[in-house]
Amino acid sequence: MKHSVVKKIITICIVLFCISFVCNAVNIVLFYRDLYLSELDEETAWQLSELTGELKEYDALEYWMRSFRTNPAGVVLPKDEEDKTHGEWHRVHGVYYDNYSIKDIPEEEAEREMKDDETGLSLPLHACYVQIADEFQNLSRYTRMDSISCFYPAEDGTAIMLFTGKVTDESGDYDYALGQTNPFSLDLHPRLKKSISEGSGEVVREIMNSSVDGRRFIQYYAPLYSNKGELICVVSEALWLSDLIRSIVKGILIVEVLNALFHLLILLVLLHLLKKSVGQPILMLEKAVTAYADDKDTDNFVRALAPMGKLNNEFAVLSEETAEMAVELRRYAEENLALAEEKKHLEGQLQMAVALRHQLMPDVFPAFPDEDRLEIYADQVACEKIGGDYYDFFAIDRDHIAVVMADIFDGGTASALFMVAFKIILSQIASYGLPPSKIMEIVNNRLSRYNEDNLTLSAWFGVYEISTGRVTAVNAAHECPLIVSGNGVKEIEEDICGFILGLSEGISYSEYSFTLESGSHLFLYTDGILNAAGRSEEPFGYDRMIKALSDANTSAEGRDKEDLYESLQREVGAVQDAVLDFVGDKALSVDISMMVIGRRGSLR
């Protein structure tokens, strides 16, 4: 009987192992594919943005591009005419444009100077073409793409080639000639056709098959428009994918097959050992346990297990531990003491998590003692459990301060660690000087990508410009901040509420801007204030918070003369006192967090 049980166990293990092997292989392939495409999308979008940004700096770009595709013979210098026009070219490129670069030439000036010389070449047009071509060549030196080009989709179903940075296939690298036409129908590229028709300028990605050998490749298109909204050209990048994907899959499968063979060998060896040395100890243990269940005699049970202690394997340890377990059943009171100690240990871990969360938030005020144009004050009343509120502020540079108020939609140790990740990612990305909306998109992507606990949070993030009082902000499903001024308390009308963070990648956020006037305060808070419940379970609510702020605001006569820091403390304290008085002796179920930014002085 024991042998059949062992065989069943091994059979189940093998089946489960095979299922796990297949699922793991599929998940690894999908993970690496999605990860690669995501990184490739971000890298290509940045490269195309940089390149199109450089092209947009040409004031007469629309005229240049139109001349390139309609008069290619007047642009490219023939090989046998290079020496003849070499000196004149340098005069055009170096002397005529001594006062401004080719990028700064207005369209009227460009049209007036675009006259062919005796070679049939328009030297200013050639100079501009060489300069733009250098932009494409520079990009090709550090990109991983196999193809970089610029073309104009004509109405006759062809693409007029304008520039080539790099084009690679099985035969090596080659260049498209200026004015060369290739078959290209927008009907076969619906996403690009839609982008062009809408004039959105969105970077389009397509995965296609080569018409030559059927190899798969990924193609990116970035339409470029004039100030009038007319299409000037399309910048394109492409990368062969089939070989790369096959190599990744092949490598993963080899690893998985070797892993499967190794575990199968281990299972076969284990089956042999089980048949040889496990059956008898199991039978001895079964008899001892059956007898113990009948007579409940601990001493007889320990004596019955004694022969197993002489075995030179794990069953010897098992017999000793089983005997000890039987003895421990008589010491129930000691077990209760052990459970009490374990509870104390868990409470200690929770306190450590609470301390970690509070260490993440600034608590030294005044925050900027050397800066007399603003002041920041923040405070939090924590609940008994581990809450999810978080606030922070830090200097990006001498004239910009980042401000954030967030609320994780869960409590516990996991939320504290999630908050650490949010703080690290946000402070790192914010230091790059990106717009707040882009910062929030990157933070959301990184939090969502590795969010195994499915935690989410709301956040309001803003960049405050000290010299002007200008605030550029983005709201990810957080409460709308308030403006406290001599005119009362009001919400920010420009606020745009976006999606929560950590739930899904690829979400876009919209930013908005407003100016914090002199003497005004920006009040940030979490929903713990609104949801704080009194004795009757009624929430504190929005209206009571506005009244507390208004009372603190209108009671401060001579606002311009009083110390700004004390004014901010008074407003935070007024709201805290109102909430705690409303709750009474009932314990808070959520954190109460607030932060106020005050501006002193006149606009510059």
Which residue, 587, 591, 576, 583, is CA-closest to 545?
Answer: 576
The span from the CA of 69 to the CA of 46, in Å, is: 27
pLDDT band at 111; cut points 50, 70, 90: low
Q: Could you give the CA distance from residue 41 to residue 205 in angstroms, rounded to a whole number?
A: 8
Predicted local confidence at residue 201, as pLDDT: 75
- State the alpha helices, DSSP H only, in 475-563: 528-531, 541-554
Among 444, 446, 447, 451, which residue's Cα sits nearest to residue 476?
A: 444
Q: Is 219 in contact with 240 (CB distance < 8 Å)?
A: no
User: What pLDDT was estimated at residue 160?
Assistant: 85
pLDDT at site 212: 64
Is pLDDT of 480 > 90? yes
Distance set, CA 348 to CA 326, 380, 387, 435 (Å): 31, 22, 16, 41
Q: Are 17 and 256 in contact (CB under 8 A)?
A: no
Phi-psi map region of 414: left, alpha, beta (phi>0 left; psi -120 to 50 alpha): alpha
What pLDDT, on the 0 to 100 scale, is given for residue 333? 41
**Residue 554: its pLDDT value, please?**
56
Q: Which two tokens stand for residue 386?
A: 């581990």
Nearest-CA neighbor of 219 among 197, 196, 241?
241
Q: Which residues pair with 488 in a beta bridge?
A: 485
Q: Return the pLDDT at 558.
A: 39
Place of tokens 């022969």: 307
- Count of other CB atoms within 10 angstroms of residue 406: 23
Residue 602: the pLDDT is 47
Cis peptide before 366 (omega within 30 of 0): yes
Q: Between the ranges 62-71, 262-271, 347-356, where is the mean pLDDT highest?
A: 62-71
The CA-atom distances, in angstroms, between 5 and each of 1, 12, 474, 544, 546 are 6, 11, 62, 69, 71
Q: Please state whether 290 falls in left (phi above 0), alpha (psi between -120 and 50) or beta.
A: alpha
Quick check: 175 and 164 in contact, CB under 8 A? yes
Give the pair of three-digit tokens for residue 1: 């009987």
The pLDDT of residue 169 is 56
Radius of gyration (C-alpha) of the chain in whole angstroms? 36
Burial label for 595, CB within 10 Å (0-12, 13-18, 19+), is buried
Domains, the chain, ranges and CATH? 143-240 (3.30.450.20), 279-330 (no CATH), 355-599 (3.60.40.10)
- CA-CA distance, 298 to 279, in Å (whole number)? 24
Q: Residue 99: what pLDDT?
A: 44
The 3-state DSSP class for residue 121 equals: coil
Residue 270 C-beta-side C-alpha neighbours within 13 Å:
13
Question: Which of 85-99, 113-127, 273-287, 288-302 has maximum average pLDDT?
Answer: 288-302
pLDDT in tens, 147-165: 788 888 888 888 888 877 7
Q: How far apart are CA 97 and CA 429, in angstroms?
A: 40
List the single range of 7-16, 230-239, 442-451 with lowest mean pLDDT. 7-16
Sheet holding 457-465, edge to edge: 389-397, 400-408, 457-465, 470-476, 511-515
Give Cβ neighbours of residue 554 (< 8 Å, ≥ 6 apart): none
Q: What is the arithmetic mean of pLDDT over 336-356? A: 65
**Residue 322 region by backbone torsions, left for phi larger than 0, else alpha for psi between -120 and 50, else beta:** alpha
d(CA 541, CA 532): 8
534: closest CA among 588, 587, 582, 593? 582
Between the CA of residue 213 and those of 307, 353, 456, what are the distances in Å? 73, 59, 46
Structure token pair of residue 397 = 């540079």
What pLDDT was estimated at residue 557? 43
Element (H, E) at 524: strand 521-525
Cβ pair 596, 523 in contact under 8 A? yes
User: Is the pTM above the cut of 0.75?
Assistant: no
> Per-residue confidence at 59, pLDDT binned at 50, 70, 90?
confident
- The torsion region of residue 467 among left (phi > 0), alpha (psi -120 to 50) and beta comes to alpha
Quick one: what percent of the chain has pLDDT higher than 90?
Answer: 23
The per-residue pLDDT for range 554-564, each reduced to its tens digit, is 544 434 435 78
Q: How far is CA 522 from the centre of its chain?
A: 27
Q: According to the per-residue pLDDT averaged within each range, which of 6-20, 104-118, 299-313, 521-535 is highest?
A: 521-535
How far apart (Å, rounded) are the C-alpha atoms in residues 203 and 218? 13
Q: State the angle between helix axes of 242-277 and 279-295 in degrees (0 to 180), rounded to the nearest 10.
A: 60
